Structure 1
């Protein structure tokens, strides 16, 4: 007996359609797909931009604190900072009071680049969820901030 061919709208997700983690993962995939379609030519990934943006607003932040705040694993953060340093975007400094710590600062050229990138990044971000009205977007943002511990 042949199984019926289904369209994507006909696929039964059962309880997955109310599973928060599943829905967040689909939302992330949708956002990233659109990001790379619309602004991927800037050669800056969302995670890289986030790190650079936070560094712009927190010069000299310790790498461990930055990683914790952005929920980036230590090994990945170390690799990312090395890559950004190799590109001439950040400088690292070992503070005298804690030789195990690393303080990260944007280079002057990177600071200018990140400020300019903020224009296109936040223009893109403002378009995310355009199928929501303003009140729904504010509500979703508030709920997500609460969920991740920012609100």
Structure 2
């Protein structure tokens, strides 16, 4: 074994040996580390698209719900309204999303995909959603279903499509 491999093994062993104590059983802590792991998978698989997971999620949900109110979308995706406005402006700037404001209620914003947005989702849906299989490749199908079911229950999506 080379000196570099020994040093790497030692560093890996050192990382594994770090005691997390009770924080290693904290749901929030574990969810955060899980998010970092899943986002890493996303970026490794899809970095060529220059899109963040949240941005594609927004496009995809608008694709499924044309005309959705921006505020309702923000609430459903648990994104602060100000942050949703920034995200929509980015997607609008890329020519993927269009906003419409009804003349009778200027406080409401409806969202639609542009033709480019529809094409982008159509051409890339399989790639973006295909990486999802990697998210659970360390679990059995039963474990993956159970984890998904429990997380949906935890965040209040139980019983929704």
Task: Indicate the TM-score class for this superposition, using the shorter chain for normalisation.
Answer: over 0.9
Mapping of residues 1-151 of structure 1, within 5 Å: 7-151=14-158
What is the aligned residue count?
147
Normalised by the length of structure 1, the TM-score is 0.92
2:41–2:131: 8 Å Cα contact kept in structure 1?
no
Q: By how many angstroms is 1:147 displaced?
A: 0.6
Find the aligned partners of 2:34 and 2:15 in 1 and give their Cα distance.
16
Find the aligned partners of 2:124 and 2:53 in 1 and give their Cα distance.
11
Q: By how many angstroms is 1:10 displaced?
A: 0.9
- Give unmatched runs, 5+ long, in structure 1: none
Find the aligned partners of 1:40 and 1:25 in 2 and give their Cα distance.
21
Normalised by the length of structure 2, the TM-score is 0.87
- Give unmatched runs, 5+ long, in structure 2: 1-10
**1:61-93 CA deviation, whole Å, 9 max, x = no partner?**
111011111111111111111111111111111
**1:8-53 CA deviation, whole Å, 9 max, x = no partner?**
1111111011111000000001111121112111111100000000
Find the aligned partners of 1:122 and 1:86 in 2 and give their Cα distance.
24
Q: 4+ runs of 1 displaced by more than 6 Å?
A: none
